[in-house]
Amino acid sequence: MNLLEQMKTRRSIRKYRTERVEREKLDMIVEAGLYAPNAGARQAAKIIMIDDPELIERIGVINAACEKRNWASGVSEEQPSIIDDLSIKSGFYSCTALGIVCIPEKNKGAVNAIGTGFCAAENMVLEAYDLGVSSCIVGRAEATFNHPEMKGLPGEWGLDPEYTPLVFVCLGYIEGNYPAVKARKEGRSLFIPRQED
């Protein structure tokens, strides 16, 4: 599959088997994140990879609790989100590995630092897909690590204290069938031709 085909067919997966993702693949997914475009050539994003399902579950339950879950459902029928299915306990579903993209604390409100972090997350999900690993980007990172039970945890793992988590990347092997490509809404692009055309 060429890159455009991969980008078109990748989906957010929320149902995973218990089988762990191989270390070499996790390293390649992190590497993809580290090579993402980055504002000001600062390479500001740092990436934590967790391979411990118990720890992932513990953080995931707090992550889900950080979402009000009272808004209209409809994210996905085949791969329901915590908004679609209120019985789901973990915001990371049953993923077996979890990437956490972090950015400098002092820049957490700056659009370019946020953009840098999300570019890393996007590179990670595309590399995962290329390796046959499913993924889902998940938010609420700041709220999750501001929770009293989680505060200080990234520092205990060795994250530079000047850094703060921005976004999660759930990873694992899909349980069941891979969902079909989602149709795109019309009218989301404009093309301005050159004068002589």
Task: Tell the smallest beta-carbon distance from residue 165 to ligand FMN (Å).
Answer: 13
Task: Tell the smallest beta-carbon distance from residue 67 to ligand FMN (Å).
Answer: 7
Does 136 engage in binding with ligand FMN (CB under 6 A)?
Answer: yes
**Strand partners of residue 114:** none
Among the residue ranges 23-31, 94-102, 131-139, 145-153, the one whose residues contact ligand FMN (CB under 6 A): 131-139
* Complex with ligand FMN: residue 137 or 150, whichever CB lies closer: 137
Burial of 46 (0-12, 13-18, 19+ CB in 10 A): buried
Does 96 engage in binding with ligand FMN (CB under 6 A)?
Answer: no
Candidates 81, 94, 116, 144: give the one binding ligand FMN (CB under 6 A). 81
Half-sphere exposure (CA, 13 Å, Cβ side) for 68? 4
Q: For 14-130, where are the E strands, in sequence order? A: 46-50, 97-104
Applying the rule CB under 6 A, the residues between 7 and 66 that interact with ligand FMN are: 11-12, 14
CB 131 within 8 A of CB 27: no
Task: Tell the smallest beta-carbon distance from residue 61 to ligand FMN (Å).
Answer: 14
* Complex with ligand FMN: residue 9 or 131, whichever CB lies closer: 9
* Complex with ligand FMN: residue 177 or 195, whichever CB lies closer: 177
* Complex with ligand FMN: residue 12 or 107, whichever CB lies closer: 12
* Complex with ligand FMN: residue 9 or 58, whichever CB lies closer: 9
19-172-49 Cα angle (round to 5) = 110
Per-position b or e across 150-168, b if 16+ CB within 10 A of its CB? beebbeeeebeeebbbbbb
Half-sphere exposure (CA, 13 Å, Cβ side) for 108? 14
Task: Tell the smallest beta-carbon distance from residue 124 to ligand FMN (Å).
Answer: 12
Candidates 103, 138, 169, 174: give the one binding ligand FMN (CB under 6 A). 138
What are the CA-CA distances from residue 164 to residues 49, 55, 144 (Å)? Answer: 14, 18, 11
User: Which residues contact ligand FMN (rule: CB under 6 A)?
Assistant: 11-12, 14, 75-76, 81, 136-140, 182
